[in-house]
Structure 1
Amino acid sequence: MTNLTTHDRIPVTLLTGFLGSGKTTLLRELLADTRMARTAVIINEIGEVGLDHLLVGTLDDDAVLLKSGCVCCTMKSEFGDTLKSLFNRRESGVLPNFNRVIVETTGLADPVPLVKLLLGDEGLVSRFRLQAVVTTVDCQIGALEHRPRVERDRQIGIADHLVLTKTDLVSTDTLVGITKKLRDLYPDKPITNGRVQQDIFSLLLENQQQPLAKEMLLRLRPTHFQPSLSVSTSTHNHKGVHTFCLSADEPIKWAVAISFLRWLARTYSHKLLRMKGILNIMESDKPIIVQGVEHYLFPETSLEAWPGNLRSTQLIIIGDGLPERDVREKFSAMVLETK
């Protein structure tokens, strides 16, 4: 079992959302704020954001410095190459010494491959760490009411945090309805009103504690507990994107835990959009963080202490057509084997 830490690696936040969902508008407002100092922002086309009034000067052929102290650069042909180039230019002094990165994806982008790169590319993992996936949801269009779109569903499903946009353009009833539908689909996924700027800055600029640890802390509250070895009585063979949580109070052997995770990744491969969680492992006093995308499992990391001093295994599974009942049954068998 390796023991990588997140210290000194640059946190990267992916800002995603479907076409017209308000990503660019949100980003434009953020870029003008001095709290974005020492932040590097990667966007697809600087001209599309409309930053002329914020420009201080050009740093090189694809990067500009804004009045807020933020560095803004364009995406190269490959996401990984863009990040590596950004790091190298910082190290050589061409770019200011930024300490966080925000990446705006295109409206049709599937964030899964980007998450996979950030968690699995050795050249990136040694320099960067995935902080969070933040997805904007357009309240005016009422995304959940319209015909299904695979890209939108995957963007919302894989997100660590949802931001509701254009909330000032819809009625209170509409806003409440969209929020309820999102909470019904993703009961523990944090949802923020995009008009509350303080909440957005706290979300995008926080890099002291991994958001995953905070998310687990919410799940570890007594009101979120589920019976540790229970198996759902319904089939839960969802055809769309959905999220569920596996939990266990008792410590698990590392060999058993990794065996389950490998089974999950191997058996369901492309149906597994994302797996993330904290493990209570017999062989470790520290909480072990595990993450995976599709059939890839990435090197585990650890936290210095348990969030809230609560020890419990919590695995969040985000799948597309993933048979929840089968996964729960296998997980229960794994936990029983530990005893």
Structure 2
Amino acid sequence: MLKLSNVDCGYEALTVVKNVSFDLNEGQILCLLGSSGCGKTTLLRAIAGFNPLHNGEIKLDGALICSKTKSIPPENRQIGMVFQDYALFPHLSIFDNIAFGLHKQDKQKRFERIMDLLALIDLHDYAQKFPHELSGGQQQRVALARALAPKPKVILLDEPFSNLDLDRRRQLAGEVKYILKQENTAAILVTHDQEEAFLMADQVALLTQSTDIKDSILQLGSAQTLYSYPNSIEVAQFFGDGVFLDIEINKQSFELFHQNYQINQSLKDGAYQILIRSQNLNFNENGNIEFNIQNKQFHGWYDDVTLCVGQTEIKIQLPQSISQNLKIGQQSKAFFAPNDKWIY
């Protein structure tokens, strides 16, 4: 439905985003994920029509809406946008805020659409209230309903939960996903928070902050794919939860922690790095490696734990069910099974 092909965009002569290509299908939610300054919002604004393209093209339902030489005005693109600060009209009621984009419809159809949306966002009793009378989460739902009202083909969400506390962000992310799926509206979400991406997105595009690259998207796929099968060290590092150790591959094997391991993929002999996560360790008194617990930091359902195997430090996240049995200064054992897909 929405198709980006080899898109470069930025500000005036400065190109921030390079060679971005992806397809967004009807009802699909795509997340543009990355650190601050990687160009997520710049790309979103180019899709909306607020920023020009330096190269490439954007099509919606096969029709060209933007290229280096052509740009359809934002109001004619059938693309809605939900801003970070909600941008509700303070002098209008919730009903009238949602009605804002429906002035071309007849009165009865407009009323029915607004009431349907108020029911969908669970604010049917708030129609005559004003934005300042609502919580931040309620205002966000109204902003989404207003963007959905004219039935756009795509909704763009720019850091929509950044003004809310952690628990409210999690709850609202689920609510917004439900609303979008009920409307079968395609959406692009911009965030730097991987948990938001995991909660909402069908597909995740991880963007790099580096401008000295050919492609801004490091990897595109499901959240599970990016986490479980990162295609580069940079992707794996973004998701944290692990540590890289130096290894030397010789004839499809390497040594680590005084153990020799075979690999199932074909790699040239030489120096590599391997990602170690908690999944590689099975804590058991009969394990093949011995370690010392150097440090633990509490984070709720998990702890950040630093293990020392000889002179090598491993910092990993462990669920409380495992971590609670490990004491600082304690000697313990684990079975170590490396994943040769995590060698870079």
TM-score range, shorter chain: 0.3 to 0.5
Q: TM-score, normalised by structure 1?
A: 0.34
Instruction: Select the structure of larger CA radius of gyration.
Output: 2
Q: Taking CA–CA contacts closer than 8 Å with sequence separation of 6 or more, which of the two structures ends up with the larger relative contact order?
A: 1
Q: TM-score, normalised by structure 2?
A: 0.33
Bigger fraction of residues in strand: 2
